[in-house]
Structure 1
Amino acid sequence: MALTKADVEKVALLGRLMLTPDELESMTADLAGIVGYVDQLAEVDTDDVAPMVHAIELRNVTKDDAVAASLPRGEALANAPKHNNEGYLVPAVMGD
């Protein structure tokens, strides 16, 4: 897939990036190289490769759920800039 300067201009516009002509040239060359590399990867035969979530096998990455005592309210609120002894006080964002 060939990447053109117009393609990069469109992506820059969508990303709200203001590129100089020099940056546009540089980005076009860089992105064309990346797309070329991805095209190379598409040529690799992966028919016998099982889909995976991670590149390496992960084991025991989550702890078992266990009931435990909660953090006391006073400790939870100790570092809050503002609180009312029941919860955090934050500025209203939705109005009254």
Structure 2
Amino acid sequence: MELTNDMIGQLANLARLEFDEKDTAQIRDDLARMISFVEQLQELDTAGVEPLLHMTENLDVLRADEISGSMDRKTALEIAPDADQQYFYVPKVIKK
């Protein structure tokens, strides 16, 4: 497949990117190598090969989603580094 600067320009426009001439040449070379690799993959005989959903037979081990108790407000306020009887105080992170 022949890649032209116009095709690169169209792809850049679709991706909302801008390239100068030097970058366009590099992108064209990179895309040509990618297309060549895909063409090589298409030459492989995959007849009789089962498609994979996962690369391994391993399964995720997840814990049961069970409701558990939480800390009451009084205890949480007592162990907080900076709090009064009603609120937690945290450092200011957004400055105007």
Scaled by the length of structure 1, the TM-score of the pair is 0.63
Runs of 4+ aligned structure 1 residues displaced above 3 Å come to 70-75
Partner of 1:68: 67
**Residues 73 and 3 (structure 1), Cα distance of their counterparts in 2 relative to 1, 3 Å cut:** farther
Change beyond 3 A, Cα 1:31–1:73 = farther
Shift of 1:56: 2.6
Q: Deviations over 1:16-56 (max 9, x none)?
A: 11100110011001111111101111111111111112323
TM-score under structure 2 length normalisation: 0.63
Asked which structure has the greater RCO (Cα within 8 Å, sep 6+), the reply is 1
> Does residue 29 of the first structure (1) align with residue 34 of the second (2)?
no
Larger radius of gyration: 2
Please report the RMSD computed on the Cα atoms of aligned residues, expressed in angstroms: 2.6
**Equivalent residue for 1:11?**
11
Where structure 1 has 5 or more consecutive residues not aligned to the other structure, the ranges are 79-84, 86-96
Q: Which runs of 5+ in 2 are unaligned?
A: 81-86, 88-96
